[in-house]
Amino acid sequence: MSKGNYLGEFEIVVLSTLLHLGENAYGMTIRCEIDEHTGRSVSIGAIYATLRRLERKGLVVSHLGEPTAERGGRAKRFFALEPAGEDAVARSRAMFARLWNDLPEARG
Amino acid sequence: MSKGNYLGEFEIVVLSTLLHLGENAYGMTIRCEIDEHTGRSVSIGAIYATLRRLERKGLVVSHLGEPTAERGGRAKRFFALEPAGEDAVARSRAMFARLWNDLPEARG
DNA sequence: TATATCTTTTACTATGTACGAAAAATGCCC
DNA sequence: GGGCATTTTTCGTACATAGTAAAAGATATA
C-alpha cells in the first residue's frame, strides 16, 4: 500500500457504481449505470482498465460467469467490492464531505 | 474544452481549498490548509504542478505579490478561482452528490 | 460456413499526481 | 559586503490514472 494511496476521480466513480449495482455488475452494466447516473459516457475500455487496476489493488474482485447461452456473446466477468474497496470509497467520501460541508450549496 | 474534461481527484481538492482560503492563498498556505483540512500531507511541488495545470485550463489565475520585505523570502504568487473554476468544482460536487446521496452514510 | 451479437482484452496515447532538489529573492549578522 | 539562513517558487523526472479505438473470444442463427 506504500504511502499516499488515494483513489483517482474515476476510480471513485466506478467503485461507487459497484455499490449501486450490487449483483450483476459487469462491464456493460457498469458503463450504462455510470452514464445514467452521472451523464458521463465513457468508452468501455476505460471501464475495464480501471476495474483491472482496482482489482490489482485488492479493492475489487471478479469472476467469470457461466457462459450464459442466451443470445450469443462471451461469458461475462462480474465484479464486486472487497471490504477494502468499501473502506476506500468511504474515506474519499468523508474527505470530500469535510471539504464541502461548510461551503455554500452546489447548484448542480 | 474538448470533450470529457473532468477534474482529477487532487485538482478538486486544490480548487476546493482555494474556496476556503479566499484571499491569501499561495503555495504554502494552500499546502497547509490541505494538510489541516484533510490530513493529507503532500509535497510542495505537487501543489504547484497542479496549480499551474489549473491555470493553463483557465480555472485559476495567479499574480505575483509585492515582494513583502518582512523577514526574507521570495515574492509570493497568489492564486484565485476563476468563475470557470467555481463551476468545475460545483459540477464535480454535484456529480458525487448524485452518486452518494442514496447510499448509507460514510463513517469517516 | 458465414454472419451477427454481446462481451472482454489488448495496445497505445494523453493527462494527472508526486517527489526531491535547484533556483530566486530577501534579511540578518559578522 | 560576503556569507548564511529563510521563505518561496520553479524544474526535471518518474510513475499512476484516464481514455480511445480496434482486435479477439464465444456463442447463436441463417
Tell me the pTM: 0.92
CA atoms A77, A89, A52, B88: torsion sign: positive
Average pLDDT for chain B? 90
* pLDDT confidence of residue B71: 65
Extents of the domains making up chain A: 9-67+75-100
- What CATH number should be reported for the domain whose range is B9-67+76-100? 1.10.10.10
Residue A6: closest CA among B3, B12, B94? B12
B3 CB below 7 A from strand D atoms: yes
Which nucleotide has its C1' atom closest to residue B40's CA?
C18
* pLDDT confidence of residue A2: 36
Amino acid at B22: G
The distance (Å) linking the CA of A69 with the C1' of C2 is 20
Q: Inform me whether the pLDDT recorded for A50 exceeds 50.
A: yes
Contacts of A75 (CB under 8 A, 6+ apart): A64, A65, A66, A67, A68
Helix (H) or strand (E) holding B61: strand B60-64
Average pLDDT for chain A? 90
Domain A9-67+75-100, CATH among 1.10.10.10, 1.20.1090.10, 1.10.3720.10, 1.20.1290.10: 1.10.10.10
Residue identified by cell 477534474 is B7
Contacts of A71 (CB under 8 A, 6+ apart): none
Subunit contact A108:B93, Cβ cutoff 8 A? yes
Residue identified by cell 474544452 is B1
Dihedral pair phi/psi, residue A94, rounded to 5°: -65, -40
The predicted-structure confidence for B53-97, as pLDDT tens digits, reads as follows 999 999 999 999 876 656 667 889 999 999 999 999 999 999 999
pLDDT band for B1, please (50, 70, 90 cuts).
very low
* Pairing state between β B60-64 and A60-64: unpaired
